[in-house]
Amino acid sequence: MSAEDRPQINLITPPTFRTDLFADQLARVLDEHEIACLRISLATKDSESLGIAADLCREIAHQRDVAVVIDSHLLLAQRHGLDGVHLADGARSVRAARKELGPDAIIGAGCGVTRHEGLNAAEAGADYVAFTPVGETGLGDGTSADFDLFEWWSEMIEVPVIAEGGLTAELIGRFGPVTDFFGIGEEIWQAENPSAALKTLLAPLG
């Protein structure tokens, strides 16, 4: 696969992390891999904890010219100088987020496995659409976003698409030709060396 056709990587934070340990891990991954965007995706709803994480991630990523978005929290994106938001509710909040954050913000939409939701999000002005999960996660009802959905999207729709959730090296090799981005997070953060784990995961892309 040529560098021009190679999908870019959206790096997703783990749902929880110790800031002292994660700072070094994140810096190493960003230094050793070409990352298009970092997405802050924490389980906590505590605004103070999210703010600390946002400042940490922004500082490390922006030093390396990597954009940063945060799951859902428009106020935190504005308050902490982030580049945009990733909305988990498909198309429903895209227009409101665009109005609030402005034309230059990154507005992404997580659309599950539903083509219709993706089309609505694209029509509403999302900068990208994410379909998830691609692989088996043991969560939800077990439904996954299949290859045909990505193949159709890549041929018919100009809005970039992200494949994420339960990714393996085998799935990355298969979906590489039909997706613009891979969203990768939980697949690497449990490893002793997340950067090396990412390198192994991405090996099929060449």
Q: What is the pLDDT of residues 24-72, one digit of tens each?
A: 999 999 999 999 999 999 999 999 999 999 999 999 999 999 999 999 9
- The whole domain housing 76 covers 8-201
CA distance 133 to 101: 28
Identify the band that residue 206 occupies on the pLDDT scale cut at 50, 70 and 90.
confident
* pTM for the predicted model, two decimal places: 0.95
- The mean pLDDT value for 97-119 works out to 97
Amino acid symbol at 81: G
User: Would 206 be classed as within a structural domain?
Assistant: no
User: Would 153 be classed as within a structural domain?
Assistant: yes
User: Would 65 be classed as within a structural domain?
Assistant: yes
Angle among Cα 194, 169, 22 to the nearest 5 degrees reads 15
- The mean pLDDT value for 6-22 works out to 95
Identify the band that residue 2 occupies on the pLDDT scale cut at 50, 70 and 90.
low
> What pLDDT does 136 receive?
85
107, 98 contact by CB (below 8 A)? yes
User: Would 2 be classed as within a structural domain?
Assistant: no
- On average, the pLDDT of the chain sits at 95
Please state the domain count of the chain: 1
User: Would 150 be classed as within a structural domain?
Assistant: yes
- The mean pLDDT value for 176-181 works out to 98
Of all residues in the chain, the percent with pLDDT exceeding 90 is 92
> What pLDDT does 4 receive?
67
Residue 167 in this model has a pLDDT that exceeds 80: yes
> What pLDDT does 84 receive?
98
- The mean pLDDT value for 177-194 works out to 97
Residue 202 in this model has a pLDDT that exceeds 90: yes
Q: Indicate which CATH number applies to the domain containing 13.
A: 3.20.20.70
User: Would 110 be classed as within a structural domain?
Assistant: yes
Residue 70 tokens, joined? 């945060």
User: Would 1 be classed as within a structural domain?
Assistant: no
User: Would 116 be classed as within a structural domain?
Assistant: yes
